C-alpha cells in the first residue's frame, strides 16, 4: 500500500475511533472510568497480538497488513451485525 493509502486509512481511524469510544461509554454512567480503561487495554492487547502474529508472517510486502485489516473489518462487522440493537433478543438494559 502506498504511503498515501495508509494515510487515508489512518485518517479514517482517527475519525472513527474517538467517536466509537464516546458512543460505547455513554451507557456507563458510574463506571465510565473502568469501561474506558478496559477499552484501552483491549486496544493494546489486540494491537500487540496482531503485530506479533503479522511479524511472524512478514514476507517483505504489504499483503499481510492488507489481509489483517480486511479480516479485522470483517470480524468487527460480524460482531456489529450479531449485536444489532434493533433485535429485541439482543437489546440490553441500559438503566
pLDDT in tens, 20-48: 888 888 888 888 889 889 999 998 998 89
Task: Please give the average per-residue pLDDT across 7-26, as a whole number.
Answer: 86
Whether 35 and 24 have beta carbons less than 8 Å apart is answered as yes
Residue 91 has pLDDT above 60, yes or no: no
Residue 59 has pLDDT above 60, yes or no: yes
Task: Please give the average per-residue pLDDT across 79-88, as a whole number.
Answer: 74
Banded pLDDT at 3 (limits 50, 70, 90): low
Whether 39 and 21 have beta carbons less than 8 Å apart is answered as yes
Amino acid at each position: 500500500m502506498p504511503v498515501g493509502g495508509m494515510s487515508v486509512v489512518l485518517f479514517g481511524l482517527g475519525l472513527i475511533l474517538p467517536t466509537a469510544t464516546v458512543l460505547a461509554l455513554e451507557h456507563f454512567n458510574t463506571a465510565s472510568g473502568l469501561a474506558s480503561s478496559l477499552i484501552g487495554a483491549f486496544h493494546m492487547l489486540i494491537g500487540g497480538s496482531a503485530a506479533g502474529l503479522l511479524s511472524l508472517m512478514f514476507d517483505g510486502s504489504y499483503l499481510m497488513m492488507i489481509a489483517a485489516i480486511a479480516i479485522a473489518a470483517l470480524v468487527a462487522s460480524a460482531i456489529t451485525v450479531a449485536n444489532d440493537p434493533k433485535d429485541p433478543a439482543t437489546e440490553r438494559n441500559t438503566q
